[in-house]
C-alpha cells in the first residue's frame, strides 16, 4: 500500500476512534426553578433574546447543533459551556446572594456595551445571536432596571 493511503486510513481510524470520547452534555430535563427567568414576570422579548443569545453557554440547557456531537467539535463545545457557566449560570441565579447578582448584572451590561458577548465565533454559526443595537440597548436597560429592584 502507498504511504499516502496508509496515512489517509490512519486518519480515518483516528477520527472514528475519537468519537468514543464523549463529553457529558449540558442538558437539564426540567427548567431550573432557580433560573433568572423562572416565574419572574420579566419582559418576554428580553427573556427570548437572552435565552437565544446567551443560554447555550450560560445555563444548564444547551441547544446542541447536529455537529455538536461530533468529536472534536463536541470537546470544544463542552469546554466553552464549562467556561461560560463558571462565570455566569443563569439557571442557578436565584441561589446567588443579591450582591453577587448585582455584580453579574454589571458584567452583563459591560460585555454588551463592549460587544464582547455573545462571542463572535458563536454569532457566525447562530444568526439568532446576532443582536442589533436596539436589542442590545433593550437588554442593557432591562439589566439596569432589574439591578435597581434587587435588594
Contact mark string toward ligand HEC, 75..94, x via CB under 6 A: -----x--xx--xx------
Could you say whether residue 56 binds ligand HEC (CB under 6 A)? yes
Could you say whether residue 98 binds ligand HEC (CB under 6 A)? no
Residues in the chain: 151
Hey, what's the cell of 116?
A: 464582547
Hey, what's the cell of 88?
A: 455566569
Hey, what's the cell of 102?
A: 448585582
Could you say whether residue 118 binds ligand HEC (CB under 6 A)? yes
CB-CB contact of 117 with 84 (8 Å): no
Q: Among the candidate windows 1-9, 19-27, 35-43, 116-124, which touches ligand HEC by CB under 6 A?
A: 116-124
Could you say whether residue 117 binds ligand HEC (CB under 6 A)? yes
Q: Among the candidate windows 10-18, 39-47, 68-76, 104-112, which touches ligand HEC by CB under 6 A?
A: 104-112
Sign of CA dihedral 113, 104, 139, 148: negative
The end-to-end CA distance of the chain, in Å, is: 72
Q: Which are the contacts of 10, defined by CB distance < 8 A and separation ≥ 6? A: none
Q: Count of residues binding ligand HEC (CB under 6 A)?
A: 18
Nearest distance from C-beta of residue 104 to ligand HEC, angstroms: 6
* 10 or 31: CB nearest ligand HEC: 31
Q: Which are the contacts of 151, defined by CB distance < 8 A and separation ≥ 6? A: 98
Nearest distance from C-beta of residue 74 to ligand HEC, angstroms: 14
Query: Contact positions toward ligand HEC, by CB under 6 A?
Result: 53-54, 56-58, 80, 83-84, 87-88, 107-108, 111-112, 117-119, 122
Amino acid at each position: 500500500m502507498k504511504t499516502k493511503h496508509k496515512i489517509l486510513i490512519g486518519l480515518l481510524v483516528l477520527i472514528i476512534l475519537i468519537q468514543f470520547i464523549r463529553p457529558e452534555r449540558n442538558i437539564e430535563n426540567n427548567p431550573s426553578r432557580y433560573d433568572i427567568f423562572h416565574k419572574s414576570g420579566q419582559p418576554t422579548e428580553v427573556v427570548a433574546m437572552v435565552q437565544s443569545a446567551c443560554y447555550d453557554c450560560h445555563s444548564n440547557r444547551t441547544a446542541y447543533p447536529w455537529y455538536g456531537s461530533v468529536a472534536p467539535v463536541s470537546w470544544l463545545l463542552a469546554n466553552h459551556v464549562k467556561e461560560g457557566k463558571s462565570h455566569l449560570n443563569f439557571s442557578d441565579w436565584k441561589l446567588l446572594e443579591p450582591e453577587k447578582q448585582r455584580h453579574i448584572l454589571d458584567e452583563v451590561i459591560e460585555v454588551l456595551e463592549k460587544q464582547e458577548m455573545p462571542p463572535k465565533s458563536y454569532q457566525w454559526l447562530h444568526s439568532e445571536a446576532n443582536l442589533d443595537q436596539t436589542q442590545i440597548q433593550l437588554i442593557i436597560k432591562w439589566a439596569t432596571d432589574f439591578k435597581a429592584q434587587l435588594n
